[in-house]
Amino acid sequence: MNLSDIKNCGIVGAGGAGFPTHIKLNSNPDTIIMNAAECEPLLHKDMQLLFNYSDEILNGMKIVMLITGAKQGIIGIKEKHHEEIELLKSKVPNDIKVVVVEDVYPAGDEVTLIYMTAGRIVQPGALPISVGCVVQNVETLYNIAVNKPVAEKFVSIAGAVEKPSTVKVPVGITYKEVLSKFKITVPNYVVRSGGLMMGVLEENLNKTISKRTGALIVLPTDHHCVNMYNRFATEHDTDRIAKAGCDQCNFCTEFCPRYLLGQPVRPETAMRNRMFTREEFPMLHAGNFSCCECNLCTMYACPEGLDPKGATVIEKRLAFKQNIKWDGKPISVHPMIDYRKVPTKKLMQRLDVLMFKDEGPLTDINFHPSVVRIPLNQHVGSAALPVVKVGDEVKKYDLIGKVSGRISSNVHASVNGVIKEVIDNEVIIQRL
């Protein structure tokens, strides 16, 4: 497998980022870090993959090291995963080491993981490659080793379901069809895709699984998290509530994992600016572009139930729009970094999800959708260009959309079938 195979297979960051892997790996790091921290509560997909496909995933790591010329590999994994740690330690070659990290949130944030596993500090606005690292998700490495077009996705099904599981589903199947195989334990529910902290509350269950979807979490409609998500559904809500309620206690900043790493993120300044800003004269703290959107300040730190994350993201977008760069001095970590970590169990308590089963064994379920709707824009960058037309017969793994532009990715059929429709950013296949 080489870079052009990875490009041809349409491999993108499977942890949710969706960045085309052939572009990310077109670099020369000295270290590849496998992100096995899986820090979103209730998710088990990556650990299940590591447990069941460790040989493939380690092979994927070796391929990536060969492609990039990296001399060492690091597997960043949480201390609670005893079985997986033992398994990996018994199999890793000399140039790959297993580094055990604490069970804290957000250990899976790239910048945090690089510090926790390699001790390197990514400077504000810089990419991991600036400190010689490239971080790869577990499932992405699996896809590289398997060397086939990405037509299926592993997904954690969690929350209010009788048997939380990890399942492999065809790309383009609807959330509704996936969930129809599970017994939901509450009468009224909503679905959060991706994760409780960094995911999206889904209005429409006819939305389809993409190469980036990592989880579907079922939540009762009156759940604490749902109330929080709904309270800050729009920028206007964040703005209005920030203006009304923030007492500038600073907890959001003091718990911010990026701030503790020395990054110039200051959510409390974003809240203050929301209080005093005017639309035609927006105030912003330039360092807030370093926010990783982990949501810890909103879902955990703020004692007033406000949305410092939302306020910080408003400033982040403004900073990008205005091309504002951080020109401060090099940063160093905060002296309190080791004392302000947020254990996952504490976070789960705060999110009120301790009542859900915290497990997700890999389970073999057959999904046979009669129709799949495959997005052409399921990655960062430009949408793929369709290369099929209505009536064409396609086989699973056939190319249906090709790379268009500098940053883009190929898209493939996930079932054998006939092209039913090619519409804006979507190819619809009727299964044969």
Question: For binding to ligand SF4 (CB under 6 A), which residues are involved?
Answer: 246-252, 256, 258, 265, 267-268, 271, 291-297, 301-302, 304, 306, 308-309, 312
- At its nearest, how many Å lie between ligand SF4 and the CB of residue 425? 29
- At its nearest, how many Å lie between ligand SF4 and the CB of residue 108? 13
The two structure tokens encoding residue 414: 């996930």
- Please give the single-letter amino acid code of residue 233: A
Omega of the bond leading into 369 within 30 degrees of 0 (cis): no
Partnered with residue 12 across adjacent β-strands are 20
- At its nearest, how many Å lie between ligand SF4 and the CB of residue 329? 20
By beta-carbon proximity to ligand SF4, the closer residue of 315 and 398 is 315
3-state secondary structure of 372: strand
Q: What DSSP string describes 116-141?
A: HHH---PPTT--GGGGTEEEEEHHHH
Mark 204-229 as b/e (b = at least 16 C-beta within 10 Å).
Answer: eeebbbbbbbbbbbbbbeebebbebb
By beta-carbon proximity to ligand SF4, the closer residue of 40 and 268 is 268
The two structure tokens encoding residue 150: 């990405």
Give the CA count within 13 Å in the CB-facing half-sphere of 338. 2
By beta-carbon proximity to ligand SF4, the closer residue of 173 and 302 is 302
Contact between residue 17 and residue 212 where contact means Cβ atoms under 8 Å apart = yes
Residues 136, 115: Cα–Cα separation, whole Å:
15
Partnered with residue 374 across adjacent β-strands are 427
By beta-carbon proximity to ligand SF4, the closer residue of 84 and 315 is 315
Partnered with residue 148 across adjacent β-strands are none
- At its nearest, how many Å lie between ligand SF4 and the CB of residue 42? 19
- At its nearest, how many Å lie between ligand SF4 and the CB of residue 314? 11
- At its nearest, how many Å lie between ligand SF4 and the CB of residue 44? 23
Residues 59, 204: Cα–Cα separation, whole Å:
38
By beta-carbon proximity to ligand SF4, the closer residue of 213 and 295 is 295
Mark out the alpha helices in 261-338 (DSSP H runs): 267-276, 296, 308-321
By beta-carbon proximity to ligand SF4, the closer residue of 165 and 263 is 263
By beta-carbon proximity to ligand SF4, the closer residue of 208 and 344 is 344
- At its nearest, how many Å lie between ligand SF4 and the CB of residue 349? 18
Cα radius of gyration (the chain): 21
The two structure tokens encoding residue 6: 């990875």
By beta-carbon proximity to ligand SF4, the closer residue of 309 and 341 is 309
- At its nearest, how many Å lie between ligand SF4 and the CB of residue 259? 6
